[in-house]
Each structure stands twice: as structure tokens, then as C-alpha cells.
Amino acid sequence: MLALNERFLLGKYINIFEVTCKEGNPFENFLKLMFSEKLIDGLLTCSKDGLRPKLILNEDEVEVPRRNSCFGVNSLLKRAVQKYQLSRIAVLSPACVFDGINKTQYYGIGCNWVKTAIALKVGILCPGSLVKTAFLTELLDITERKGTPDRFFFKEGRLFYEFKGKRFKVPLDVHHRYINPACRYCLNLSSKGSDITCVFLEEEERALFIVRSERGWSTIGKLQLKRPDLLLFRKAKEELINGVLEFLREKTLLNISDIIERIELGLPLPKWNDQKLRKFYRLWNSINQNFEEEVF
């Protein structure tokens, strides 16, 4: 049986930090500092409402998406490299966008080498993306109010929405019905394969940084040497990490249930092919727990 332990859910990482800043969002300040120190010359992410892709060219425009809705980010990569001649691009997005970037050599003429312009991959702990109409319906279902959430965050292993100054817990079984269909079959919610994964917390001035690579580690080190007063890094408490694992475990089980159901019905799976299914079955039915990390 596949072990839904920390290694599978969070993947490999160097360290996890709880990051605070005096004002603003830690990730916004982190990315602004990267611009000011010339570590990046562009940022690919989504708009603040999370509903459209955005290419950011200077630190004054930096903003992180407040909603779990990221679509089409990698469609701007070719423009960033060819039109604006960018060579040090940071990408802030869920894991699915990085999957697309890794396949850019198949996009056509002019895309063979665009992914070499990526200077830093910043992943987002993703509960599943929603389109605008799904947000409206889900919020009406949960709160009986009309509108779209102002932002999402995690607290004590649960997903929350903030709407007009009030915070609402989102039941995962309800949320699962409204997310994009392809998100129901994703097993990389924590953005394994990125340099740093960001986790949004209740207070906007706090966040978790899951540092995964030497590139992410050295970037944080350089910025801390330049501006140690801007961001305060502390080793994350065990209860914060356990809360993230609790959410990932519950959401992953819902996704696995959908995967198995479609396989049994003989239906195709978005983003899955025969090779990936064989890999999944080999792990799911294995009694040997000592396996290499697999990213689906």
C-alpha cells in the first residue's frame, strides 16, 4: 500500500521556515527583494484575483494571487523570453504550471530553450483551482452569500476562505466537487519539484516557506545577507507542519478515490497516461515501503 506519509505528501525538502514580515505578504516582499537585488528580471504568476495570467516586469507591480485559481501562466513564457528578452524569470504557481513549463520543447518553433530562462520556481500549496463561476457557487453553498472569496489560507489542517472580513472553513468534500476536473486527479498538491513551496497562513504577514533545492536555499541566503530586517525566518513548529500534512492527507485521499473510480469504470484520466497509471498501481499495491520518491 502506498504510504501517505510526510515523504510522499511533502516530498524532499531542506528545511521549512515560518516567515513573518512587519507589513505586507512575505512572498510579495520576498519577490520584490529579488527584483531590487537583480536576481530576477521578470515574474510569471496570476493576477491578484487569480483569474488571469500576468507577466510582471518590475518590483512595483509584484502581487501574489489571493485565490486558488491559476490558469494559463505558462502561455506567457514565450512572450517573456522572445519579446522582452528576459533571462532570469521567477515563476509563482501551482505544480501543474511547472509540468507545462517542463514540456515547452513541444510547443513549437521558438520554444525549445525558453525553460532555461527560469531562475526560480516558487510553488503554491494548492487545494485545487476554481474558475470564477465555481467560486460563486461554492461560496453560496458554504456561506449562503453571493460573491467570490477575497483570499484562501490554511489553519490547523483546514482550508479557509476570507470574504468581506469574515473567515469560513471550507469542507474538503464540498470543495472537491467544485474544483477543476483535472485537479481531482493531481497527487502533487505541495508542488514537489519547485525550489520553494509557499503556504498561505491565517495572518497575511505570516507564511510557510518549504525550501526544497540548493537554488532556493542560496536565494534566501543572499536576500537575508542584504536585508535581514525585512523578513524574519524561524524554523517552523511541528504543529504547523502537521497541520499541512493533515490537509494534504485528506485531500490526497479524495483524489486517489476519484482516480481509482475512473480506472474501474474504464474512463480516461486527464494528465495521466498508461505509463503513469502503471507507476501508480505499482506503488499503490506495493508492500515494500522503501521506494524512490515519485512525482505524479
Q: Of 72, 69, 43, whose CA–CA distance to 55 is shortest?
A: 43
Contacts 24+ apart (CB under 8 A), 56-59: 57/84, 59/31, 59/32, 59/35
What is d(CA 91, CA 55) in angstroms, rounded to the nearest whole number? Answer: 10
pTM of the model: 0.89
Residue range 18-56, pLDDT digits in tens: 999 988 899 999 999 999 999 999 999 988 877 789 999
pLDDT digits 0-9 by tens, 212-270: 999 999 999 999 998 898 999 999 999 999 999 999 999 999 998 888 887 777 777 66
Per-residue pLDDT, 93: 92
Instruction: Calculate the CA 244 to chain-centre distance.
Output: 13
All cell numbers assigned to 157: 489542517
Whole-number Å distance between alpha carbons of 161 and 23:
21
pLDDT the model gives residue 50 = 72
Q: What is the mean pLDDT of the chain?
A: 87
- Can you give the residue ranges of every domain in the chain? 11-284
Torsion angle, CA of 230/211/175/54, rounded to 10 degrees?
60
Residue 52, pLDDT score? 86
- Does 296 score more than 50 pLDDT? no
